Amino acid sequence: EDQVTQSPEALRLQEGESSSLNCSYTVSGLRGLFWYRQDPGKGPEFLFTLYSAGEEKEKERLKATLTKKESFLHITAPKPEDSATYLCAVQVNFNKFYFGSGTKLNVKP
């Protein structure tokens, strides 16, 4: 059964304290892995797409990496404005996506 698991469920960091979020997946055929950011009361907002193992993408303090079984979202020197829920999704065919339950990140000043 296709499944996406994210860990940890919640993460508290001090401003400037780097860490990583994990997304592990078991799917029959991966077309792409996506990271989204979701702020309270808002819809998810796209961050990155990764297509093959070894691929990396960066945006400001965020870097996403992909292996055959999992993806990491590394957050370097986070700021309070990085506080949000980060969702991982895998695409198994052109319009079918499975989402994880997210990691709620809280960055304290």
Partner 1 sequence: DTAVSQTPKYLVTQMGNDKSIKCEQNLGHDTMYWYKQDSKKFLKIMFSYNNKELIINETVPNRFSPKSPDKAHLNLHINSLELGDSAVYFCASSPTGSKDTGELFFGEGSRLTVL
CB distance 17 to 109 below 8 Å? no
x/- track of binding to partner 1 for residues 29-48 (CB under 8 A) = --xx-x-x-x--xxxxxx--
Half-sphere exposure in the Cβ direction for 13 (13 Å, CA): 24
Does 21 interact with partner 1 (rule: CB under 8 A)?
A: no
Give the shortest CB-36-to-partner 1 separation in angstroms: 8
x/- track of binding to partner 1 for residues 45-64 (CB under 8 A) = xx--x---------------
Element (H, E) at 41: none
Which segment (18-26, 56-64, 67-75, 90-98) binds partner 1 by CB under 8 A? 90-98
What sign for the dihedral angle of Cα 71, 54, 46, 4? Answer: negative
CB distance 50 to 43 below 8 Å? no
Name the residues that contact partner 1, by CB under 8 A. Answer: 31-32, 34, 36, 38, 41-46, 49, 85, 87, 89, 91, 94-97, 99-102, 104
